[in-house]
Amino acid sequence: MGFPMAGHLAEAGYQVMVYNRTPQRRKEWLSRYQGRAAQTPAAAATGADVVFVCVGNDDDLREVCLGEVGAFSGMKDRAILVDHTTASAEVAKALASIAADAGLGFLDAPVSGGQAGAENGVLTVMIGGDVEAFKQVEPIIQHYARCVRRMGETGAGQLAKMVNQICIAGLVQALSEGLHFARKAGLDPAAVVEVISQGAAQSWQMENRYQTMLQGEYEHGFAVDWMRKDLSICLDEARKKGVSLPITAMVDQLYAQVQAMGGGRWDTSSLFALLESVNERSQ
């Protein structure tokens, strides 16, 4: 997702220096956009007013931020690092503390909207951290986002993203069950959706995923492997706070079954494929 996000900034006229742990991706980016590439995160961050990071998980984030070649080591005094990774609130707080000790700013800023949202510049960004740092970066982020909101202090962005993933998990499972029921009841599932999407059942998932789900196509969004990573973060945070998330826990295990089917890289709507598969085996 960082590829098109950085592209939007280059197209907006910003001087962009990119780094990717896969060198080929750097070359591909430079073939499409105006900018320069660096060999390390530190080199990419050198001299920048704002540094944007978008990687996979907590460990990846530590890797690109810390150490001799990490972004923090190359950043100038009072520069701000904006982390778009979906990670834990704990790592956000830890890195924010390290950044503050080094005279740097840090904002946890996970995004929602998927690859399509990044490419089309319509992401939703949930931010935690210092108010003044937020005010500095908000106009920049708006080049690839349609909604940018500060949710509170450090870690609040990540907590808000957890809420997002909890809600999506339940919605996708409910949509999968509804489509599966409609099909087995002898209804035209597409016709049913056309009707109920005009009422209280409407959701983004219904509008954007029901057709591909019915066609058995699962290459259109956020991968199951990544969703399980995110749900693991949600469930871990819930345990720490003594919060019960029964639906989230159930859907997490259903995604584990999708992975066992070989669907780890399928998008999250593949819960429907699991229901269809279970039905076929029971006949």
Q: Which of 124, 153, 182 is the last residue of a domain?
A: 153
Identify whether residues 102 and 216 lie together within a single domain: no
80 neighbors 137 (Cβ within 8 angstroms): yes
Identify whether residues 255 and 275 lie together within a single domain: yes
Res 280: pLDDT? 60
Q: Which of 129, 153, 177 is the last residue of a domain?
A: 153
Closest CA relative to residue 121, chosen from 103, 147, 92: 147
Identify whether residues 200 and 260 lie together within a single domain: yes
Res 139: pLDDT? 98
Q: Which of 153, 183, 200 is the last residue of a domain?
A: 153
Please enumerate in sequence order all residues whose Cβ is within 8 A of that of 144, keeping only pairs 6 or more positions apart, or say none. Answer: 4, 5, 8, 9, 118, 121, 123
> Which three-class secondary structure state does DSSP give residue 108?
strand
Identify whether residues 122 and 184 lie together within a single domain: no
Identify whether residues 254 and 198 lie together within a single domain: yes
84 neighbors 8 (Cβ within 8 angstroms): no
135 neighbors 158 (Cβ within 8 angstroms): no
- State residue 265 phi and psi, 5-degree precision: -100, 0
> Which three-class secondary structure state does DSSP give residue 179?
helix
CA pair distance 60, 42, nearest whole angstrom: 15
The secondary structure element, H or E, covering residue 164 is helix 156-184
Identify whether residues 105 and 169 lie together within a single domain: no
Q: What is the pTM of this model?
A: 0.94
Closest CA relative to residue 87, chosen from 221, 229, 223, 228: 229
Identify whether residues 84 and 186 lie together within a single domain: no
Identify whether residues 57 and 23 lie together within a single domain: yes
Catalytic residue IDs:
161
Identify whether residues 267 and 207 lie together within a single domain: yes
Instruction: Tell me the β-bridge partners of 106.
Output: 81
CA pair distance 276, 19, nearest whole angstrom: 42
Two structure tokens written together for 270: 């593949």
Residues of the domain holding 66: 2-153
Q: Between β-strands 80-83 and 50-53, what pairing exists: parallel, antiparallel or unpaired? A: parallel
Two structure tokens written together for 189: 């599932």
Q: Domains in the chain: how many in total?
A: 2
Closest CA relative to residue 168, chosen from 275, 263, 271: 271
Closest CA relative to residue 71, chosen from 91, 90, 92, 95: 95
Please enumerate in sequence order all residues whose Cβ is within 8 A of that of 106, keeping only pairs 6 or more positions apart, or say none. Answer: 80, 81, 83, 92, 95, 96, 99, 100, 129, 133, 154
Identify whether residues 137 and 14 lie together within a single domain: yes
Res 114: pLDDT? 87
The letter for the amino acid at 89 is A
Identify whether residues 44 and 20 lie together within a single domain: yes
CATH number at residue 265: 1.10.1040.10
Identify whether residues 144 and 265 lie together within a single domain: no
197 neighbors 276 (Cβ within 8 angstroms): no
Res 264: pLDDT? 97
132 neighbors 150 (Cβ within 8 angstroms): no
Res 220: pLDDT? 83
CATH number at residue 86: 3.40.50.720
Res 281: pLDDT? 57
Q: What is the pLDDT along the chain (283 residues), one digit of tens a residue?
A: 999 999 999 999 999 999 999 999 999 999 999 999 999 999 999 999 999 999 999 999 999 999 999 999 999 999 999 999 999 999 999 999 999 999 999 999 999 998 889 999 999 999 999 999 999 999 999 999 999 999 999 999 999 999 999 999 999 999 999 999 999 999 999 999 999 999 999 999 999 999 999 999 999 878 999 999 999 999 999 999 999 999 999 999 999 999 999 999 999 999 999 999 976 655 5
